[in-house]
Amino acid sequence: MTTVGVLALQGSFNEHMAALRKIGVKGVEVRKPEQLESVDSLIIPGGESTTMAKLAHYHNLFPALREFVNSGKPVWGTCAGLIFLANKAVGLKTGGQELVGGLNCTVHRNFFGSQLQSFETELSVPKLAEQEGGPDACRGVFIRAPAILEVGPDVEILADYPVTSDKLGSMAPRDEDKENEMGPLDRVIVAVRQGNLLGTAFHPELTADTRWHSLFLRMGEVKGERSLQCASASNSDDPEGKGTPDLPIFE
């Protein structure tokens, strides 16, 4: 049975552990570099990326985290975790912060503003629905959330979100050729996949929709292997996948 590590330095690691329990998968809290040796995949939760980076540095976790990402094992960063995984982050605190890197994208750390500008919205997620069933939309909980401004060619976009061009204009690196082709750029990217890496700017672990967790687990499957007892577990209350799996949970 697969074991999922959840980086448990700070932030919403308990909620990820609860989501894993719900789909019948073993989660293990990771606080030390050597604990990474015994997990098959890793979730880096949301929280506060500067604080998390300081704690990761204190516990000497960065080299082991980079090695884990490079090993090809699945790693999923939610929110602050997405910032951790980005190759480049803008809007950082003075002095910057250490990143794990690996995900070929530029992230803006507090793109949507302060804590007061946190919001919930419905996101269109056809690729998630194609893989995991259920509705074409999911609830996106954005808490002082980052956004992805630019991705490399090897990055698949799983969800984006509309923003006014003037907001984007002041933040996004401009690519005039792209604008000429596509009209004014007016969306930011909020969920991506690149090989073994998954990144979401929002918090699926704060909703009852476990499809992001099951998608992540599927990334660790060897071809042909069906380890997803969790797929049936997650859908057992709603075999048709027609319900609204977007109610907030507070466990």
Which of the 8 DSSP states describes residue 223? T
Which range binds ligand GLN by CB under 6 A, 13-21, 79-87, 167-175, 217-225?
A: 79-87
140 binds ligand GLN (CB under 6 A): no
77 binds ligand GLN (CB under 6 A): no
Question: Is 29 assigned a catalytic role?
Answer: no
Residue pair 104/151 in contact by the 8 Å Cβ criterion: yes
Question: Is 79 assigned a catalytic role?
Answer: yes
Among positions 8, 20, 42, 143, the unique one binding ligand GLN when judged by CB under 6 A: 143
Among positions 30, 64, 83, 99, the unique one binding ligand GLN when judged by CB under 6 A: 83
Question: Is 205 assigned a catalytic role?
Answer: yes
Tell me the sheet residues that pair with 119.
Answer: 142
Residue with Cβ nearer ligand GLN (73 or 144): 144
Give the integer Cα–Cα distance in Å for 111 and 91: 8
Annotated binding residue at 118?
no
Annotated binding residue at 193?
no
Helix or strand or coil: residue 227?
A: coil
16 binds ligand GLN (CB under 6 A): no
80 binds ligand GLN (CB under 6 A): yes
102 binds ligand GLN (CB under 6 A): no
| Residue-wise burial string across 11-45, b where 16 or more C-beta atoms lie within 10 A, e elsewhere | bbbebbbebbebbebebbebeebebbeebbbbbbb
Among positions 44, 79, 100, 155, the unique one binding ligand GLN when judged by CB under 6 A: 79
109 binds ligand GLN (CB under 6 A): yes
In terms of Cβ atoms closer than 10 Å to its own Cβ (0-12, 13-18, 19+), residue 186 is: middle
Give the integer Cα–Cα distance in Å for 91 and 4: 31
40 binds ligand GLN (CB under 6 A): no
**Residue indicated by tokens 């057992």:** 236
Binding residues, as ranges, are: 47-49, 109, 143-144
Point out which residues bind ligand GLN (CB under 6 A): 46-49, 79-80, 83, 109-110, 143-146
